[in-house]
Every structure is written in structure tokens, then in C-alpha cells.
Amino acid sequence: MKMMKMNLVSVSVPCFNEEKTIPLFYNEILKVFKDKKYDLDFEIIFIDDGSMDDTFKVIKDLSMEDERVKYIKFSRNFGKEAAIYAGLKNSKGDYIVTMDADLQDPPALLTEMIDYIKSGYDCVATRRFTRKGEPIIRSLFSKLFYRIINRLGDVQIVDGARDYRMMTRVMTDSVLSLSEYNRFSKGIFAWVGFETKYLEFENIEREEGESSWSFLKLLKYSIEGIVSFSTSLLSISTVLGILLSVLSILMILIIIIDNLLFRNPVPGWASTACLILFIGGIQLFCIGLLGLYLSKTYLETKKRPIYISKEEKL
Ligand code: UDP
Ligand code: MG
């Protein structure tokens, strides 16, 4: 009988201060792969994104007990996007998964993902259909974010899509071929195309520890997302400029006619001041917009590495 080569699943996990959740996570993954029905090997790549607690020690201990546990330790906190990239880049599997360490991405879905991939999909992604347990303001703003980015951008991003997904080798390699420095994974995954199946699940609250996303961090992330995937904001300035010019020409005409016909010179300093403020504001806004894109270009042209690893076992 010919020996069938076992397929390898790489599970890549960004970790930032996750000392408490990693052992729980590891046990859950073991449970999933115990099911021999699928005949799959797995490797887990933990990316320690500059944690301040004992995350790295926990990972290292695990990898000493189990050689399927690999790790990359960043030299500082580079952010989740960099960690996702590092995980994908160093994965050797046929099927590649990225998921959070906090068990908010249910490992039980993995088997379903494998079924879909085997049936011909290139990617199985997930989305939450509720935001239960999340602050209302936060849900509102993230709804707004998806509305804006889908209206402006060239790619469609599913509302509530998580980073939790499984991809084939081909798709992973295409994602890696986008080597930009300002990474917005949700956009990149959508941009490369391929056939994606969305699984839905209810929001699950974090197992241990705290979410590391503050409101400000999320806002920055949203602006990053919009700027990385759409240049249509740039044309806002042109449109505004044209509208304002037309408006001011009309107003000048009205003033001239008013003066000629009715000889009614108004003191009018207030309206002038308002106009100056208004136009000044619009100009600043547009310059700011330009600056935003310029700063992105600036960082891209430096061609800095996306992350720096201090120690790794792969
Ligand atoms: N994370 C990371 N670097 C960071 C922030 C977060 O690698 O700078 C990881 C974190 O350890 C977790 C995942 O990204 O595995 C999601 O983070 P979190 O649970 O804090 O976000 P939320 O689930 O609230 O969106
Ligand atoms: Mg979480």
C-alpha cells in the first residue's frame, strides 16, 4: 500500500501578554487534533509580540515538551498585524490558520474549516454575528467603520469578520507576496481574492486577561485600514475645492448685483470672518489628508522589515 503523506496544519497565534490563556489554548488545540478522522499533523507557531509578562516562558516550556510547538519572539511590540505576517511567513503547513490566543476564536470550528477546504474552498474565514459583551459605543463605531470602508474602498470587507481563518498554501503565499509595511490584514485577505467561505459564530468573551485594544488604538487601526485600501479620500479635496469655488463665484456675483442695483454696502465683517474660517478649515483638512497618505508612502519607501525577531524556534 502506498503511504499517503499526512497534511500539515500550521496554527499561527499572535500573543501579547497571554501567559494565562496559552496553556488553555494549547489544550483546546490538542483536543481538536486528537480526532483521527482527519489524519492531520499540526504545528503551532506562537508569536510573542513583545509581551511584558511571562508569555515567552510559558511558550518556551511548552515547546520543550512538545516539538510541534514553535515560536518567534519579537524584539518589541510590533502589533498584531506584524505578528500575523510573521506567523504566515514561517508556517510550513498545507493549510494555514491564524487565530487569537484568548479562545475568542473557537478551536472547535477548525474541523469544519478543514471540511470546507477539502471540498474546494481556498479559504474559510469567520465572522461574528453578534457583538454580545462588547461596549455599545464600540460596536457602533465598528459598524460605522465597515460602512465607510466598504463605500470608499476597492475591496469589500465583511462586517464583523475576524482574523480567524484557514487558508491553503497558494492563498497564503499570495498574501505573503503583498509585502507592504502598513499591513491591514482584513483588506489584504479580501484583495488577493480566492474563494472564501464564511462561517458565523456568536461572540465569545475572553477566557482570561484583558483585551489589549483601547478605543484610541482601534481608531488608529480603522484609519490605517481606510487609508491603506482606498485612495478615494484624496479625491474628496478636489470635489470640495470645486464646490467651494463655484459657491464663491456665485456669491461674488450676488454681491456685485446687490451693490449695483440696491447700493446697499453691508458692513459684513462677520460673514467674511466665517468664510475665511470655513475655507481655512477645509484646506487644513485636505492638507491633513495628503499628509496621511504621504506618511504612509514615507514609511513604505524606507523598506523596513515588518518585524524583528530576537529568538525563534521553527
Ligand atoms: N495581540 C498581539 N499584539 C498586540 C495586541 C494583540 O499580538 O499588540 C494579540 C493578542 O495576544 C490576541 C490577539 O492579538 O491573541 C487579539 O487581541 P485581543 O484579544 O486583545 O483583541 P480583541 O479580541 O479584543 O479584538
Ligand atoms: Mg480577544
Per the structure, the complete domain to which residue 277 belongs is given by: 232-302
Dihedral sign for Cα atoms in the order 247, 252, 255, 258: negative
Q: What is the pLDDT of residues 144-193, one digit of tens each?
A: 888 888 888 777 888 888 899 999 999 999 999 998 888 888 889 999 98
Tell me how far CA of residue 234 lies from CA of 72, 74, 245, 313, in angstroms. 38, 35, 18, 44
Q: Are residues 210 and 242 in the same domain?
A: no
48 within 8 A of 308, measured Cβ to Cβ? no
User: Which residue's alpha carbon is at the smallest distance from atom 8 of ligand 1?
Assistant: 79
Ligand 1 neighbour 50 (Cβ under 6 A): no
Total structural domains within the chain: 2
- Is residue 161 within 8 A of residue 123, CB to CB? The reply is no
120 and 193, same domain (yes or no): yes
Rounded-to-10 torsion of CA 126, 129, 132, 133: 30
Residue 4 has pLDDT above 70, yes or no: no
Q: How far is the CA of 212 from the centre of ligand 1 (A)?
A: 6
Q: What is the longest distance spanned by two Cα atoms in the chain?
A: 104
**Distance between CA atoms of 113 and 67, rounded to whole angstroms?**
24
pTM over 0.85: no
pLDDT at 264: 63
Phi, psi angle pair for 81, to nearest 5°: -60, -45
**Strands of the sheet with 123-128, listed across from one edge:** 196-201, 123-128, 161-168, 95-98, 7-15, 40-48, 69-74, 309-313
Q: Indicate which CATH number applies to the domain containing 122.
A: 3.90.550.10
Query: Is there an atom of ligand 1 within 6 Å of 63 CB?
Result: no
Q: Is the domain of 238 the same as that of 206?
A: no
14 lines ligand 1 (CB under 6 A): yes
Mean pLDDT across 73-84: 94
pLDDT at position 62 over 80: yes
Can you read off the three cell numbers belonging to residue 233?
Answer: 479620500
Residues 181 and 297 placed together within one structural domain of the fold: no
